[in-house]
């Protein structure tokens, strides 16, 4: 296997005590028009700051929302994955983007709005934002990125880093290995950046866009389409890729999705992607799903960021 050389990264150039002020340049919805959920692509101008050219795709930035919580304390920092490639949004190193879902919850007949996500979602071009970071030292593309195949598994806004990683892999035009994006969302209207990924799929025979719509479609056995079911459902495409020793798996999104993926990989005999911590029972289905992480952890070929 080619050696996986992860790049050296700089961490917390700006800390919560010493944030930097950056300017919003754009803020637009990336779901289809009819979606009741609002997920936005927000781009910041970081020119003149020490973040320029020093944030890598896969890392996160911190946002400090203004104001205080109900107990009068300053709002805490929230981390958001960067969704623009290392070279910057549209190739401009002074532009950096993130992908934000407006969170709205109802509890005991009261509506709660997520503080940071709604603050970010309401921003207009020209508005100033306090930013920290970057953070994250492992969920990165290797320096020798073009030597590998990639299976990117994302649920919801977990797609953010993969947008940038896919742009980065294909931007020079000489990427020859295989790359698949396996994306999960509840309804068709929740597909994120669908035009971009469909276009990439059509343009590049070595890029495969595999969406899974969990609440509209059903597999022949009646179960839901989840990202991990694609390992079985697209076996002809994915199995030969997963069998190669230069393939890396990246997982980003809902906590719990990683267990389903590890279980499916093990069922298919693809044990190189997980490290066994504790002896597994003969029947993998005997392990309660919540306990799966007691038995396995990501191997050197697997990268996970779940929340």
CA-CA distance, 153 to 302, in Å (whole number)? 11
Q: Considering the complex, what minimum distance in angstroms separates the CB of residue 271 from ligand A2P?
A: 20
Q: Which region among 14-22, 64-72, 224-232, 265-273 touches ligand A2P (by CB under 6 A)?
A: 224-232
CA-CA distance, 153 to 162, in Å (whole number)? 9
Q: Which of 159, 160, 257, 263 binds ligand A2P (CB under 6 A)?
A: 257
Number of neighbours of residue 58 by Cβ within 10 angstroms: 27
CA-CA distance, 40 to 30, in Å (whole number)? 5
Q: Which region among 42-50, 79-87, 222-230, 275-283 touches ligand A2P (by CB under 6 A)?
A: 222-230
Helices (H), 175-215: 194-203
Q: Between 153 and 182, how does the x/- string for binding to ligand A2P read (CB under 6 A)? A: --xx--------------------------
Q: Which of 215, 218, 243, 294 binds ligand A2P (CB under 6 A)?
A: 215
Judged by beta carbon, residue 215 or residue 267, the one nearer ligand A2P is 215
226 contributes a contact to ligand A2P by CB under 6 A: yes
185 contributes a contact to ligand A2P by CB under 6 A: yes
Which residues, other chains included, contact 220 with Cβ-Cβ below 8 Å and sequence gap of 6+? none
256 contributes a contact to ligand A2P by CB under 6 A: yes
Q: Which of 95, 191, 227, 231 binds ligand A2P (CB under 6 A)?
A: 227
Q: Tell me the number of residues near ligand A2P by CB under 6 A.
A: 15
CA-CA distance, 249 to 301, in Å (whole number)? 6
Q: From 26, 105, 11, 113, select the one nearest 67 (Cα to Cα).
A: 113
Judged by beta carbon, residue 68 or residue 223, the one nearer ligand A2P is 223
Q: Considering the complex, what minimum distance in angstroms separates the CB of residue 302 from ligand A2P?
A: 15
The residue with its CB nearest to ligand A2P is 156
150 contributes a contact to ligand A2P by CB under 6 A: no
91 contributes a contact to ligand A2P by CB under 6 A: no
90 contributes a contact to ligand A2P by CB under 6 A: no
Which residues, other chains included, contact 179 with Cβ-Cβ below 8 Å and sequence gap of 6+? 149, 150, 152, 166, 169, 170, 206, 207, 208
Judged by beta carbon, residue 140 or residue 213, the one nearer ligand A2P is 213
101, containing H or E segment: strand 95-101
45, containing H or E segment: strand 39-45
Determine contact, residues 82/57, Cβ cutoff 8 Å. yes
Residues that bind ligand A2P (CB under 6 A): 155-156, 184-186, 190, 214-215, 226-228, 254, 256-257, 260
């Amino acid at each position: 296997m080619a050696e996986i050389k992860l790049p050296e990264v700089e961490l917390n150039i700006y800390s919560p005590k010493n944030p930097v002020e950056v300017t919003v340049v754009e803020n637009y919805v990336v779901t289809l028009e009819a979606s009741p959920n609002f997920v936005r692509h927000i781009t910041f101008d970081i020119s003149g700051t020490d973040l320029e050219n020093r944030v890598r795709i896969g890392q996160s930035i911190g946002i400090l929302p203004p104001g205080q919580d109900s107990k009068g304390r300053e709002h805490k920092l929230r981390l958001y994955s960067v969704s623009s490639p290392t070279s910057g949004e549209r190739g401009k190193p002074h532009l950096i983007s993130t992908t934000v879902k407006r969170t709205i919850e109802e509890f005991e007949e009261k509506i709660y709005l997520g503080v940071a996500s709604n603050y970010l979602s309401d921003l207009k071009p020209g508005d100033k934002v306090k930013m920290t970071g970057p953070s994250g030292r492992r969920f990165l593309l290797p320096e020798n990125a073009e030597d590998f195949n990639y299976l990117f598994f994302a649920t919801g806004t977990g797609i953010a880093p993969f947008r940038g990683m896919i742009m980065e892999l294909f931007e020079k035009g000489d990427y020859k290995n295989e790359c698949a994006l396996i994306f999960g969302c509840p309804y068709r209207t929740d597909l994120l950046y669908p035009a971009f990924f469909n276009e990439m799929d059509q343009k590049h025979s070595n890029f495969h866009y595999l969406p899974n719509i969990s609440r509209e479609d059903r597999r022949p056995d009646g179960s839901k389409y989840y990202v991990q079911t694609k390992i079985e459902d697209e076996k002809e495409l994915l199995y030969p890729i997963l069998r190669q020793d230069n393939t890396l798996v990246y997982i980003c999104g809902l906590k719990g999705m990683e267990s389903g993926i590890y279980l499916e990989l093990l069922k298919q005999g693809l044990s190189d992607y997980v490290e066994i911590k504790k002896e597994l029972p003969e029947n993998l289905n005997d392990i309660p799903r919540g306990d799966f992480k007691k038995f396995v952890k990501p191997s050197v070929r697997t990268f996970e960021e779940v929340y």
